Amino acid sequence: MNRFFLALILLVHMSAHAQISFIAHRGASYLAPENTEASLDLAWQFQSDGAECDIMLTRDKKIIVFHDRNGERLLNTDIIIRDTKYKDLRKLPITLRDSNEKKYAGSTIPLLKNILKKLPSNQFLVIEIKDEMEILPYLNKVIKKYWKSGKIAFIAFDYPTIKATKTMFPEIPCYYLSSSLEDIDQRFEDLAKSQLDGVDLSYKIINAELVDRFRRANKEVWCWTVNTVEDAMAMQKAGVSYITTDRPAWLREQMSKR
């Protein structure tokens, strides 16, 4: 009996301090404009465990790396992205945020194919699909033609889309995004039976019990978007595998001091 409890204590201790990986949110977006070649290049340079980017279709069916439905926040214009051709979008510089270094002024929206071409063999790119089913045939062509090195995974908030993505790319990890515990509870049985590799959840709804519930269903739990040491430590203790953060290098350094 004593051996059992000793083993249990050791297991809990190991779980609480398990290795955790860091994904750079929209690249190293703290220093360079989000979802640009510069921010993703910086993510690779900073030796993060991977980087996340967002993709959507333009009017002429190009897959771009961009987050918003319109240009108000990042392009200083109210254009609708899906109604605009790429040749017009690429002329618009992305607005710098306060923490961005001035040398990245003038950065523009990249194509997914160009990001894939530059993906280092030892790196991991997490691709969030912002559109629904319509994008998948175009995505299939881009992945088959331009993905030659490194690892990739797909994430999406639209449940039918991420399930269809897994069907299209059975060899590529796919995760369902959610920020709602009610949503996760309602979908849990279907998620558990699905071919999806796991879920990518807002850290605010995650606890050890939820992670264990998914683990027993052979599903992995990732989380987003964590920018404090306290929250990162809580996620590590809960047992998540990957943390998406705006500051991967800083967060890793700070956690190593704990």
Predicted local distance difference test score (pLDDT) of residue 247 = 87
pLDDT at 13 over 80: no
Confidence of residue 5 (pLDDT cuts 50, 70, 90): very low
Alpha carbon distance 30, 249 (integer Å): 11
Tens digit of each residue's pLDDT (9 = 90 or more) over 87-107: 999 999 999 999 999 999 999
pLDDT at 204 over 80: yes
How large a percentage of the chain has pLDDT more than 90?
87
pLDDT at 159 over 90: yes
pLDDT at 7 over 90: no
Predicted local distance difference test score (pLDDT) of residue 203 = 99
Confidence of residue 46 (pLDDT cuts 50, 70, 90): confident
User: Nearest to residue 235, comparing CAs of 245, 222, 248?
Assistant: 222
pTM of the full predicted structure?
0.92
CATH of 25-256, one of 3.20.20.190, 3.30.450.20, 3.40.50.720, 3.30.365.10: 3.20.20.190
Q: Which two tokens stand for residue 14?
A: 């190991």
Secondary structure (DSSP) of 33-69: -TTSHHHHHHHHHTT-SEEEEEEEE-TT--EEE---S
Alpha carbon distance 159, 165 (integer Å): 10
What integer best gives the mean pLDDT of the chain? 93
How large a percentage of the chain has pLDDT more than 70?
93
pLDDT at 16 over 90: no
Tens digit of each residue's pLDDT (9 = 90 or more) over 106-130: 999 999 999 999 999 999 999 999 9
The C-alpha torsion from 32 through 38 and 42 to 44, rounded to 10°, is 140
Confidence of residue 48 (pLDDT cuts 50, 70, 90): confident
Confidence of residue 9 (pLDDT cuts 50, 70, 90): very low
Tens digit of each residue's pLDDT (9 = 90 or more) over 52-67: 999 999 999 999 999 9
Alpha carbon distance 201, 181 (integer Å): 9
Contact 181, 204 (CB under 8 A): no
pLDDT at 11 over 50: no
